[in-house]
């Protein structure tokens, strides 16, 4: 080993040591600037790794909300998280999503660097951005839509049952208690509203909060009619009967609209089916004609 190689190794070692020290100082300074957040993360976490993960999520959330695209996604997540009935806040969901995107970026970058070189470094960036801004928000939104549709299908049966209870001489509270007996999203929301009433809220306020969580316009109209009926003293059985009829009429109109739109939406799939059938029928004939030498 000549002196040039020794000098090169020493220079490489010193550069590596300088980089490690610089990174260490940067991390230490970063933790010093955010000492309070780090202490809170340590209190919430079960260990050092859990505390570090929680701290990184918090910092990603704090820095990410400074950008309009992340803020817009956060505003939509606040609605979708409630509609999907997730046991997490929108802040926790967004922080976890940004953390997952960072892991995808770092892991994908190392993998692409090892397999394809630096030219493929754009791939993990695209995958991370797609997960954070498209895939995961779409999954949460889809869960919220699925739960809302389940509640929407259950509403007319709940109204009919509530009307029967009221016509039998029961109160609105008793009707809600009977409707809440079940294993469906609407029953879960009504049980939550009943707990809110037991905590001191009025029936109208609890039902309005339930309507805001679900986010269905048709249910908003029903809740508004119930609150208005309580304020004016109108017979609740008659109010719910009228709302049930109006709900069925709106649902029938929506079904008629879907039936009218169905032929237009089926045009392109029908064309694909026709082309496939023609290929299946004419394909063997064309192959046979080609082999016979006519072309």
Q: Is the same domain home to 92 and 166? A: no
Q: Is the same domain home to 60 and 108? A: yes
Q: Count up the domains in the chain and report the number.
A: 2
Note down the domain range covering 130: 24-143
The pTM of this model reads 0.71
Question: Distances in Å between the alpha carbon of 45 and those of 40, 48, 49, 55, 60?
Answer: 9, 7, 8, 9, 17
Q: Is the same domain home to 158 and 227? A: yes
pLDDT in tens, the chain (295 residues): 566 666 776 766 666 666 666 655 655 555 555 556 656 655 665 566 676 777 777 777 887 888 888 899 899 998 888 888 888 888 888 888 888 888 888 888 888 877 777 777 788 888 888 998 899 999 999 998 899 888 888 888 888 888 888 888 888 888 888 888 888 888 899 899 999 988 888 888 888 888 888 888 888 888 888 888 888 888 888 888 888 888 888 888 877 787 887 778 788 788 888 888 888 887 777 777 777 755 5
Question: Measured in whole angstroms, how far is the alpha carbon of residue 89 from the centre of its chain?
Answer: 12
Tell me, yes or no, whether 112 lies in a domain.
Answer: yes
Longest Cα–Cα distance in the chain:
102
Q: Is the same domain home to 35 and 133? A: yes
Count CB-CB contacts under 10 A for residue 180: 18
Q: Is the same domain home to 224 and 241? A: yes
Tell me, yes or no, whether 125 lies in a domain.
Answer: yes
Tell me, yes or no, whether 129 lies in a domain.
Answer: yes
Q: Which residue blocks in the chain are alpha helix, DSSP H? A: 3-33, 35-44, 48-64, 68-83, 90-115, 122-130, 136-167, 172-179, 185-198, 203-214, 217-232, 236-265, 267-291
Distance from C-alpha of 164 to C-alpha of 167, rounded to nearest angstrom: 5
Tell me, yes or no, whether 270 lies in a domain.
Answer: no
Q: Is the same domain home to 61 and 167? A: no
Question: Distances in Å between the alpha carbon of 231 and those of 84, 204, 237, 280?
Answer: 31, 9, 15, 68
Tell me, yes or no, whether 83 lies in a domain.
Answer: yes
Q: Is the same domain home to 200 and 247? A: yes
């Amino acid at each position: 080993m000549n002196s040039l190689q020794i000098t090169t190794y020493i220079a490489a070692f010193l550069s590596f040591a300088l980089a490690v020290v610089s990174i260490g100082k940067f991390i230490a300074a970063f933790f010093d600037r955010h000492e309070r957040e780090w202490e809170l993360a340590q209190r919430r976490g079960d260990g050092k790794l859990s505390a570090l993960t929680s701290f990184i999520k918090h910092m990603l959330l704090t820095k990410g909300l400074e950008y309009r695209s992340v803020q817009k996604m956060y505003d939509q997540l606040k609605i979708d998280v409630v509609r999907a009935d997730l046991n997490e806040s929108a802040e926790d969901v967004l922080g976890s999503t940004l953390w997952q995107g960072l892991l995808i970026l770092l892991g994908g970058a190392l993998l692409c660097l090892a397999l394809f070189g630096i030219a493929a470094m754009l791939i993990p960036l695209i995958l991370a951005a797609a997960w954070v801004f498209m895939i995961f928000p779409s999954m949460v939104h889809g869960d919220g839509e699925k739960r809302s549709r389940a509640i929407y299908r259950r509403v007319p049966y709940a109204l009919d049952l509530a009307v029967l209870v009221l016509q039998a001489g029961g109160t609105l509270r008793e009707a809600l208690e009977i409707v809440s007996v079940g294993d469906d999203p609407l029953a879960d929301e009504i049980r939550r509203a009943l707990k809110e009433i037991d905590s001191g809220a009025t029936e109208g306020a609890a039902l309005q909060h339930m309507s805001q969580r679900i986010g269905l316009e048709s249910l908003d109209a029903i809740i508004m009619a119930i609150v208005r009926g309580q304020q004016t003293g109108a017979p609740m059985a008659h109010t719910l009967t009228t709302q049930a009829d109006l709900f069925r009429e709106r649902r029938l109109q929506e079904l008629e609209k879907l039936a009218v739109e169905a032929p237009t939406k089926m045009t392109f799939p029908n064309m694909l089916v026709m082309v496939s059938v023609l290929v299946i029928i004419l394909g063997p004939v064309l192959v046979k004609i080609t082999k016979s030498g006519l072309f």
